[in-house]
Structure 1
């Protein structure tokens, strides 16, 4: 287990563990007869010109609707995919896909998968599943290391002799976290880590993640569609829409004073904890087809603020306070949203009620 001093953490915070610069990723789609006749491949742009970084000891939340490109971006970070353009850097060094990364580079990043039950071989015991993630130097002492890891995630070491089918969802998720930590990574990618768990179990997992981060200084890229869950842990926030990051900045700022209309709509769609409050109105419409993106701002067909400028011109990032927003009218959106919400910078001390 790594120990982390304040000086070590300050030094490592100066440079990102991982950084993506202007990365893009597209996939071939099923083409119609006419497309094939015209030789028009119409690739689906899953990630478009995205820049994002994560430092040791911090949590960067990545939020957006299903299909917006969050999981594709996670695979670019881990090396499961390589970008068509742009650069992925580990400690400032450009890297390509998983097969081309060195053992040390592979060790730097752990993963907790979205469908955790599907990420385990049902024929393997928990002990073997975790042991396979150790680096070569420690595979001769796997029993002790597995027991230590299980205790770190608040599980009895006897769980190591069980099989995935014998564990509850919360237990299996904690085993997934233990497996991700087996090689002492500096960054863990958490792809919907509490999706499908009840609220009490979500709170347990999130508290565990926070404690592990305090102990070891590990960084998290925390991916979720649930803003309440992300708000609990995130230091910084990136909001994705149609493959783009449309807003990024300190989490407290983005949540309390969103400057992009899509972020504002997501925040407004979170149900209130007060049952007397009216139910939020869902965002109308649907995201664009990735293979047929609209001109201009990709959000303009769903945006009540959109005008001719939005329909014709793709906005660049505008700085609003300490956040940046890809909107022509970011300052006005922030002023309007800030007037409707009391400002606070404190993290919630519990997991709020999840979205239905």
Structure 2
């Protein structure tokens, strides 16, 4: 029974997560030529007021695409007892939804009812990277917004405790390669993680070790100080790398030094192919940027919804 369910799930995944070939970089050339500039201006203003915005919007785009394809379902509000994705356990820490609201408002002024929330989120994620010192790219557009958002489905998101085989399965079900996995993991160069995301590595790791032995000892000591056992501080945690507001290849350099935060980061070093890619990206920021752009365009092309929402928080 379990095996047949798994096969059915894989079949469902392959049907759900296929690439949207209808996307085009010129999709709004005639209908809303000023859309991208409007989104970028909103992002610049938001980033000037809050340097956590880039990491938030990049993560939001990832979390959106991995559930039902890139359909802005992560933006929908819960309604009564029907909890939406944003209220699922992995998404409780998502923030900066207001930036998408402001961008939508700016775009609606230019061309009402034309640009989807899903496209606005994809553009905002690109700007998050480019305005933080990372690569810039032409975003294929033409996504549509979804009408379904379920908190229960957020269990499908890759967990920070995943091992390599779990990560590989999660990405391959969405048509993404192991190189895409490594490149997209490089997005962890931006942002902050709460203690709960990595406490499994610094307390009661296994029957033999209290601390994950693959962690750099000095780094582990620092993390244990920030996140003591039975830590009750809600906002305690650590930046993702030492340049957490700059999109660069520092994440990969630190990973090779035993200073990756998550089990899922360390997992990239447990397979020869992905370890080689980590080393390549640590040695060449240019190679990382090139691979990241290819991977995020591929991920951002996972097909989703059917409409263009007037308000990103509610269905039409």
- TM-score for the superposition, normalised by structure 2: 0.29
Structure index of larger Rg: 1
Higher strand residue share: 1
Higher relative contact order (CA 8 A, sep 6+): 2
- TM-score for the superposition, normalised by structure 1: 0.27
Higher helix residue share: 2
